[in-house]
């Protein structure tokens, strides 16, 4: 993709899909509500300790958990802190029971921000609770593309994933670049220098055209 023919070097963005720009996971069958719960468990920090809160049901065995931070962060707030995910594993109901309940309002607020703002779009939105549709790709990703385009910056995007959501993510991006995203209609003006494509390392053939000598992960440019 290109946002213009300026003299600055082309910016190449390497972006992981799941839990980064796609809030859903086909492999685990997680819709946005569950995927957001799992993500929050990876960015909330604590430690096992006698002074902590008791674990919720379903975590197996006795034990207690002590929170070391009341807000999520990508980095540990202090030495020795563990993410809830690293200690207890995947929990699609993290904020609904047990120690994670303290982040329930945070989950509800961000889930609301993920609600799709118009009529359903087969590529750009996904179903969640009955009657609700959500963004497949975070609006902030498209805002980034829109900003780069308005700034006249030449850029490329490489998606990386070990999952199976790449083809539908590419379909969503293609739809947005055709001006179909209700929040970012100006993306139709982004010049695309070549076709979006898929490459994969390993056995089996991915959906879409392929190229020889792929990188070690499924990739789109």
Per-residue pLDDT tens for 127-154? 988 889 999 999 999 999 999 999 999 9
What is the pLDDT, as a whole number, of residue 129?
80
CA–CA gap between residue 60 and residue 25 (Å, rounded): 25
Contact 165, 189 (CB under 8 A): no
CA–CA gap between residue 17 and residue 161 (Å, rounded): 6
96 and 50 within one domain: yes
126 and 17 within one domain: yes
Mean pLDDT throughout 185-192? Answer: 91
CA–CA gap between residue 205 and residue 90 (Å, rounded): 29
176 and 123 within one domain: yes
Query: Whole domain around residue 40: which residue ranges?
Result: 32-113
Q: Which of 113, 134, 163 is the last residue in one of the domains?
A: 113
79 and 52 within one domain: yes
Q: How far is CA 84 from the centre of its chain?
A: 18
184 and 94 within one domain: no
The 218-220 sheet, strands edge to edge = 11-16, 155-161, 218-220, 198-199
Residue at 6 is within a domain:
no
Q: Which of 113, 144, 177 is the last residue in one of the domains?
A: 113
Terminal alpha carbon distance of the chain: 9
- 101: β partners: none
Residue at 3 is within a domain:
no
Q: Which of 113, 136, 161 is the last residue in one of the domains?
A: 113
18 and 126 within one domain: yes
- Using a pLDDT cut of 70, give the percent of the chain over it: 78
Tokens 């096992």, located at residue = 48
Where is pLDDT greater, at 183 or 18? Answer: 183
| Confidence band of 3 (pLDDT split at 50, 70, 90) | low
Where is pLDDT greater, at 210 or 110? Answer: 110
Residue at 1 is within a domain:
no
What is the pLDDT, as a whole number, of residue 215?
36
| Confidence band of 71 (pLDDT split at 50, 70, 90) | very high
Residue at 207 is within a domain:
yes
CA–CA gap between residue 162 and residue 141 (Å, rounded): 20
197 and 123 within one domain: yes
What is the pLDDT, as a whole number, of residue 201?
58
CA–CA gap between residue 209 and residue 116 (Å, rounded): 30
215 and 184 within one domain: yes
107 and 62 within one domain: yes
202 and 139 within one domain: yes
Mean pLDDT throughout 9-29? Answer: 87
Total number of domains constituting the chain: 2
Q: Which residues contact 52 (CB under 8 A, 6 or more apart)?
A: 46, 64, 65, 66, 67, 99
135 and 84 within one domain: no
123 and 195 within one domain: yes
Residue 209 reports pLDDT greater than 70: no
Residue at 198 is within a domain:
yes
- Using a pLDDT cut of 90, give the percent of the chain over it: 60
Residue at 196 is within a domain:
yes
pTM of the model: 0.77
Residue at 194 is within a domain:
yes
Residue at 189 is within a domain:
yes
């Amino acid at each position: 993709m290109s946002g213009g023919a300026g003299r600055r070097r082309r910016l190449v963005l390497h972006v992981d899909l799941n839990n980064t720009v796609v809030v859903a996971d086909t492999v685990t069958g997680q819709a946005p509500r569950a995927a957001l719960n799992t993500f929050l468990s990876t960015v909330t920090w604590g430690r096992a300790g006698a002074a902590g809160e008791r674990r919720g049901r379903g975590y197996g065995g006795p034990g207690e958990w002590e929170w070391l931070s009341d807000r999520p962060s990508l980095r540990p707030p202090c030495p020795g802190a563990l993410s809830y995910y690293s200690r207890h594993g995947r929990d699609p109901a993290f904020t609904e029971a047990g120690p994670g309940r303290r982040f329930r309002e945070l989950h509800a607020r961000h889930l609301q921000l993920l609600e799709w703002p118009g009529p359903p779009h087969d590529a750009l939105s996904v179903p969640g609770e009955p009657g609700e549709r959500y963004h497949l790709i975070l609006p902030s990703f498209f805002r980034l593309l829109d900003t780069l385009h308005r700034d006249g910056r030449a850029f490329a995007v490489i998606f990386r994933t070990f999952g199976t959501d790449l083809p539908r993510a590419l379909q969503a991006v293609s739809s947005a670049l055709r001006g179909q995203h209700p929040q970012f209609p100006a993306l139709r003006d982004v010049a695309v220098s070549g076709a979006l494509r898929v490459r994969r390392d390993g056995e089996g053939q991915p959906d879409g055209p392929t190229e020889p000598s792929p990188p070690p992960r499924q990739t789109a440019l």
